[in-house]
Structures are given as C-alpha cells and as structure tokens.
Amino acid sequence: MQKYLLRRVSFGLGTVIGVSLIVFVVLRILPGDPLVALLGVEGHSKMTPADRAVIMKDLGFSDSLPVQYGRWLRDIASGQLGRSFFRGDTVRDLILHRGPLSAEIAILALIISWLVGLPVGILSAVRPNGLADAVTRFLSILFIAIPGFWLSMLLVLALLFWFGYKSPILVVQIWENPWQNLQIIIGPAIVLGLAQGAYIARMSRSCLLEVIREDYVRTARAKGAVERAVVLRHALPNALLPVITISGVLLGFVLGGSVAVEQAFGVPGLGRALVTAIIERDIIVVQNLVLLYALIFVVVNAFVDLSYAWLDPRIRYQ
C-alpha cells in the first residue's frame, strides 16, 4: 500500500508541475501587449515608451520567461499568489473570500448526485427494461444533454416570475448567515447535482447489471437471502468501485460547469471571478485560478485512485 501511495503521489506531483507550466506558457503567448488590455488602446497610445517600460517592469513582464515563472513559484510558496492588476488585493484574498461558496456548491452537488443517482440506478437495474428503467434511462439521457447553465437560466426565470428572485450581489459566508448562504448555493448545487446524478445513475445501473450475473450473487440467492439483502449487501459493494471513479471524473464536469452555472445564477463565487478575470485579461488572477481548478481536479482524482486501492486489494498488489 505504501509503495502504491508513494507512486501515486509522485505521479500527481509531476502532473501538477506540468499543469503549471502549461498554464504559464498559454497565458504568456497572449498576442499583443498586456498593457493594451490593462489601459485600453487609447490609454496605451498616450503613454511614452519610457512610461510603458516602467509599468511593464513594475508588473514584472519585462523579465525573461524563466524568471517570471520562478517568481510565480515563489508567490505560490509564499501563499500570496500575486496581485490582481485591477483590484490591488492578492489572489489569496480573492480565493478565501469567494472560494467557500464554490466549494459548498461542489460538495452539495456531489451529495445530491449520489442521493439521486444511486437509488435511481439501483431501481432501474433491479428490473431492467421495466417501466421505471425506461423512464430513468430517458431522464438520464436528457439530463446529460441539457447544458447546466441553460437549466439554471430557466430556474432563475421561474423563481423570478413566482418569487421575485434576485441574484445575490454580496458573498454571504456560511458562518455569517447559514440560511442566506443556503439560498445562494442551493440552486447551482441542484442543477450540477442532477446532471452528475444522471451519469451516476447510468453508471451504477450498468455496473450493477454486470455484477448481478456473477456466481456469488446466485449463491447468495440460493442460500435464501432476501432480494433486498442480495442487491444491497452482496452486489452493490462490488458495483460501486467504477461509480466512485466516475464521480472523480465528474468533478471536472462540476468545476467547469460551475463557472457557467454561477454566472447564470449570478452567484459571486470563484467561477465568476475567473470569468471576470478572463474578460479583463487579468493574467495573474487567471493563471492562479486555472492552476487551482486543475490542482483540485488532480488531488481529488488521486484520492479516488487511492480509495479504489483501499477498497479493492487487487489493485494495491499490482
């Protein structure tokens, strides 16, 4: 187990370093001057070349790329993550202020997806090709195709119409006012949770169908166990492994999807901060936030792999 752990962690570290290099390179091939983005074309043309050079030096764009990359690593190590061009506060403050909302949304979406997806999957696997199966299969295909941000817009529209919904303007943290906090996060969490739940239902259905044909399930039935115990105690645990894996893969879906869903609901979370930064071309903010999203994805999938090895000894000893 320890050997496996070590291998998996070093593997993840390599990936993270690769990710940071790609983010850095992609954001440095920006066509044109970051100053044009910063000051606008007019403001840029009014400045003398000397002024421009001073500002570029201030922002740290006049150094060579390896030096800039090194400085970024230093910023990460110091925990401050650099400063926004426009707002003066550090990216760390931004993440601490906006991050909790997005994290709550992601976690709640994960919980909803399991609460909805798993029972639905079991139900349709128990009676394949029955009515419940047909309905759930249709719904899961539908929910996979519906873009989350559009569903969010429809929900907002309905809430606006019936309850006079207003999108939240300020961040309300869970420790300040849990009720208001819940009102902000519940919509995006449900939308993202249902979309994920569709995948989980689909996956748990097909895995359960596969396992239920195995000999040991027949043995359990033969010894007289009730069907409920056969499915839940004997078949389900072995069918869950791939479902856990897909849950990790789905996190990418949640992280990416939450950006658009937050925008649709007007939730002031991290995803919206990223969109704003991209539109403003606030490179330092963008590079840190993109790295953060990728980092979360890598770490969670490493945990999924480890839990997999923990749950299934065959993988551990490979």
Of the pair 235, 264, the CB lying nearest another protein is at 264
For the record, the structure tokens of 307 come out as 């839990």
**Interaction mask 208-247, another protein, x per CB under 8 A:** --------------------------------------x-
The Cβ of residue 81 has, within 10 Å, a number of other Cβ atoms equal to 23
SS3 label, residue 256: helix
For the record, the structure tokens of 197 come out as 């739940």
**Interaction mask 164-203, another protein, x per CB under 8 A:** -----------------------------------x--xx
From candidates 1, 6, 13, 30, binder to another protein by CB under 8 A: 30
At its nearest, how many Å lie between another protein and the CB of residue 49? 24
Burial class from Cβ neighbours inside 10 Å (0-12, 13-18, 19+) for residue 58 reads: exposed
From candidates 253, 304, 308, 316, binder to another protein by CB under 8 A: 253
For the record, the structure tokens of 144 come out as 């996979």
Of the pair 120, 195, the CB lying nearest another protein is at 195
Residues in CB range of 77: below 8 A, 6 or more apart: none
From candidates 60, 99, 119, 256, binder to another protein by CB under 8 A: 256
- The answer to whether the beta carbons of residues 291 and 25 sit under 8 Å apart is no
Rounded to an integer, what distance in angstroms lies between the CA atom of residue 268 and that of residue 262? 7
- The answer to whether the beta carbons of residues 306 and 245 sit under 8 Å apart is no
Rounded to an integer, what distance in angstroms lies between the CA atom of residue 232 and that of residue 234? 6
From candidates 1, 9, 18, 173, binder to another protein by CB under 8 A: 18
273 touching another protein, by CB under 8 A: no
Rounded to an integer, what distance in angstroms lies between the CA atom of residue 207 and that of residue 126? 12
At its nearest, how many Å lie between another protein and the CB of residue 263? 6
At its nearest, how many Å lie between another protein and the CB of residue 116? 16
In the complex, the residues that contact another protein under the rule CB under 8 A are: 14-16, 18-19, 22-23, 26-27, 29-31, 141-142, 144-150, 153-154, 156-157, 160, 199, 202-203, 246, 249-250, 252-253, 255-257, 259-261, 263-264, 274-275, 278-279, 281, 286, 290, 293-294, 297-298
